[in-house]
Amino acid sequence: MTETIDAGRPADADRPACRDCGAALVGGGLHVAWCAGCGWNTDPGADAEEEPRGRIERVRRRLARRYGEQLFADLTATGGADGHSARSGRGRSARLAGCLALAVHGLTVALLAAGLAMVVAGRGLVPLLGAVPILLAVVLRPRFGSLRKATADRPVLRRPDAPELFGLLDEVAATVGTTGVEAVVVDTDVNASVRTYGVRQRRVLTVGLGLWEVLAPQERIALLGHEFGHYAHGDTRHGLVVSTAFQSLDTWSYTLAPQESASLLDDLMNLATALPRAAVDGVAGLLDHLTLRGSQRAEYLADEAAARAGGSEAAATLMDRLLCAGTLDGVLRREAVAARTRRGGDRSGDPAEGLWRRLAAQAAAVPATEYERLRRVAELRGHSVDSTHPPTHLRRRLLTAGTPHEPRIVLDPERAARVDAEFAAARRTLARRLLNG
């Protein structure tokens, strides 16, 4: 990925010329042919890019890009995320967000109290009417999630099953300043995350093999360092009070969503819910605004944790892998279609046996020119993993600026092989499930 791209070399017989500047195009074959000099065809899919749905989501993406750029400038000026001593979740905005989240939960408590009072003290139809606010309070109650439900259809690894893996997780968590997880859920996504479940807020790591299998050992350490870094730096959105308030507001929004106008009754219901719907949208937007900047700072700090754990180089190349998430998703979809239609792929045996190896080979074959193109596309579009993340190209640039981190944890081939062996059963199960539909 450090290959030098010759942006000004004239076209020759083997390479087509750029129609704008005449320089030789780079890429081609399975990847986009583009001009590294003038940028022609860098982003051929720009016109097809989908606009975020919903006013709140569009505003969130604009704010995310603006905050990401502002924070990048601030962190660069203070020596990078490593030199930024303030915890991401301890500012005035975070405290206001906590108060607003408590107010959201307070409304749920108030509905429950009002309903119970109507049932106990009311007369006539009042006790029956009291069931309405009680029902609303039950629907809007904070939900802490259930590990049993979350893992019902996916392989789960626990400490007795995977001592090498959990030893590595504990080491990475300690390196970035937090604690490990109780379980590891494995799925096929091109992603990874750490979440909490239950009233006790037990942590669970979800590993998507679509991402894990294409990463080099040090990139895996960087990935784990990033995910644990969120809990080391006090990300407001990961907090119990705020995260459950977002869930309650989402439930309110779904409940009050306007119905399709098919009758006069639908029109009257939409009119009656217009004001509370606007209020819910306003509170959700305010809570989002109060937490977005802190959440973006937490992402930068989690990236710094990734660099400390796995090394700056591995953390930077991890960003490139994330830019290829769409490509990796496409590879898995094509493998699934090929298996179901009995076309393509290695048909000499069970295609599930070689699925993850083929995915890793596809990722390894991506040339440096394609990574460079994707980085430029990310900059043009303001690409981010989602609307709460800073622009990916800025995250990568911050990781490569200043004095690089040497890895604190080195995953040698022997230890990496032992960790891989503990994924073997989950790897086979998920490959067969993906290919067999």
**pLDDT per residue over 59-88, tens digit each?**
667 777 777 778 888 887 776 655 444 444
Q: Which of 110, 105, 112, 107 is closest to 132 using CA atoms?
A: 112
| Neighbouring C-beta atoms of residue 241, cutoff 10 Å | 16
Greater model confidence, 198 or 212:
212
Identify which of 207, 151, 195, 204 has the alpha carbon closest to the alpha carbon of residue 423.
Answer: 207
Q: Which of 366, 325, 329 is nearest to 27 (CA)?
A: 366
Backbone angles phi, psi at 295, to 5 degrees: -65, -40
pLDDT digits (tens, 9 = 90+) for 150-190: 777 889 999 998 999 999 999 999 999 999 999 999 999 99
User: If you ran DSSP here, which 8-state letter would residue 11 be given?
Assistant: P
Main-chain dihedrals φ then ψ at residue 88, nearest 5 degrees? -65, -25
**Eight-state DSSP code of residue 390:** P
pLDDT-above-90 percentage for the chain: 31
DSSP state for residue 334 in the 8-state scheme:
H
Mean pLDDT of 293-301: 85
Residue 179 gets which letter from DSSP?
-
What does the alpha-carbon distance between residue 131 and residue 135 come to, in Å, rounded to a whole number? 6
pLDDT of residue 1: 47
The first and second tokens of residue 314, run together, are 């591995």
Q: Looking at per-residue confidence, does 168 or 200 come out higher?
A: 168
CA distance 380 to 388: 18
pLDDT value at residue 2? 46
How confident is the model at residue 337, as a pLDDT?
Answer: 85
Distance CA 64, CA 345 (A): 40
- Among candidates 234, 240, 146, which has minimal Cα distance to 185? 146
Overall size of the chain counted in residues: 437
Burial of 303-325, coded b for 16+ CB within 10 Å and e otherwise, reads bbbbbbbbbbbbbbbbbbbbbbb
Tokens 């705020």 appear where? Answer: 242
